Every structure is written in structure tokens, then in C-alpha cells.
Amino acid sequence: MGAAGVHPTARQETRGPLPEGLGQAIRETGDDIAGLLRGAPDTAIPVPRSEWTLGEAAAHLALANELMADLAAGRRRPYGDGTPQSLAAANEESLAAFAERRAEPLAAVIADQANAFLDNVASAATDQTGGTADEPPLVTPLGPMNRALLGSYLLTHMLGHGYDLARALNRPHMIDRNRVELCMPFMLSVMPRVTNTAATAGLTARYAVRLKGGTAFGVALADGAVTVTPGPLERPDCTILIDPVTFLLVALGRCNPWSAIAQGKIVTWGRKPWLAPRFPNLFTAP
């Protein structure tokens, strides 16, 4: 297999404080999830399309938010090696060591640790000469990141599991267009890392992906190598126009792309439109 890569400008490197709107989105998403949990009558109910109960999913989210807050403070917290198998094992190990499954305490931890993340980012920016100094990379479960990218990762993770909790409780989820846009720096940076090598082996293709009213990016594949670039590629083989919320749900493995196509939420065209259905399978949900 070839090496995966990402175009330098696709990393959305940002110094100092978080990009506009990201801090507010993190805080509000934490509060939204806490509000869902506080109204849950039973945390032993199953989460759809998951092996976890509501309480286990909420406990994982509480632990993950605490992990992210620690990373934002510059603390080293080893957590798997970035592969899906190691992350799943780390998740199960952390859940086994953390017995809390009650709704109210977990709701409090999720919201409090989202706020702790923001406090730690602010403190780090103050320590780094007002945020103007070069920021050393943080070691995260999905590779080195600065705090802005880590914030995008945190928001993406909360939205994915927040969606699961909302489905389990038959309540509206908290994903919207603006929050998806704030997830895109993380999504673009992580795509080469979560490439499904079995699906990309021997494939040469050029994709242009456009979120309706938002981000556009390109994905080029050649001999197993994956390169992600900001903005659409010239002369793509296949162009995919997709609703932003649908994009995130498909990317996180929460939505069947065929169902989204049938509902008109995904439209494709180009010289090789048959490549479109292959796109979601090129990556493993982070």
C-alpha cells in the first residue's frame, strides 16, 4: 500500500484560541447532550446499531471529554495507537474501569469536561505569549494536532455520540449545518489516517466533494495513497454534492448512503459517476 497524505493547507492549522464559533459549539453541544441525559428515564436501554446501552455510551462520552480536556492542558494520555481495533480496546478498557452509568452524574461530567477543555485552551493561549507563539503538537488518539484541530475533533466526537443518545431516546439530535462546518477541519485532516486500505487498494480516482452551501474538498487516490486537498479538484472523475448533516452522519457510520441517495440528499455526476457509492467505504469511521 502507498502512504496516505494530506495537503498542508487542509490541516486548518490555527494558532492561539479556537476558530470563531467553535468554543460556543463545544459548550452548547455539551449542554445539549447533558439535557438529553437528564431527561432519560432508564440508561439501560440499547443504543440503536450499537453494542452499548445508553449508560455505556454516555459513560464513554464523559471519559472522552475528560481525555480531551487533559490533552488540551498539555497532559499526555496514551489511548490506543490510532487503529480502529486499538481504539475499541481502549474504549472497552476505560469503560470497565469506570462504573458510573446513572444519567445525572454522567450529564454533569460531559458538560463540565467540555467547559474544562475550553478553559484549558484559553489557559494555553495565554501561556503562549497571547497565542502568537508556535504551538507544539498534542499527542491525540488520532495523531498529532494543535488545540484548534483538537477542538474540532472533540465537537465531532460529541456530535456522533450525541446523535446516538438522541436516537436511543427518540429525541431530536443536535447536529446542524454550522456545527458540521466546524467539524470539517478534523474530518479533512483525519481522512488519510482512517483510510480503508482494502477498499483503496488498486483504485485510482479523483473525487470532488461539496457540502451544500459549505465546504468543498478533493480526494485523490492512486495506488493506495490518499491525498485530501481543500477546494474541489480539477477534472474530477466524480463529483458528490451532499447535505452537510448527511455528510457527517455518513462519514461517522450513522447513516446509510443508499438511503440518503434515495432521499435526494446526495447527488452525483461526472465522467465516472459509478465511483460515488464507493466513496463512503474508502474510510473507516473515526
pLDDT in tens, 59-87: 999 999 999 999 999 999 988 887 888 89
For residue 12, is pLDDT > 80? no
Q: Indicate if the pLDDT at residue 112 is higher than 80.
A: yes
Contact between residue 16 and residue 132 where contact means Cβ atoms under 8 Å apart: yes
Could you tell me whether strands 225-230 and 5-6 are parallel, antiparallel, or unpaired per DSSP bridges? parallel
Topology annotation, domain 197-282: Nonspecific Lipid-transfer Protein; Chain A (3.30.1050)
Residue 169 pLDDT exceeds 80:
yes
CA 164: distance to chain centroid?
Answer: 14
The per-residue pLDDT for range 217-255, each reduced to its tens digit, is 999 999 878 999 998 788 999 999 999 999 999 999 999
Helix axes 54-72, 22-38, angle to 10 degrees: 150
At 140, which amino acid appears? T
CATH topology of domain 8-187: Four Helix Bundle (Hemerythrin (Met), subunit A) (1.20.120)
- Distance in angstroms (rounded) separating the CA atoms of residues 132 and 114: 24
Name the DSSP class of 21: T
Q: What is the pLDDT of residue 130?
A: 44
- Global pTM reads 0.90
Calculated CA dihedral for residues 248, 135, 29, 88, nearest 10 degrees: 60
Give the span between the Cα atoms of 69 and 158, in whole angstroms: 13
Question: What are the structural domain ranges in the chain?
Answer: 8-187, 197-282
The pLDDT tens digits for 14-52 are 344 799 999 999 999 999 999 999 989 999 999 999 999
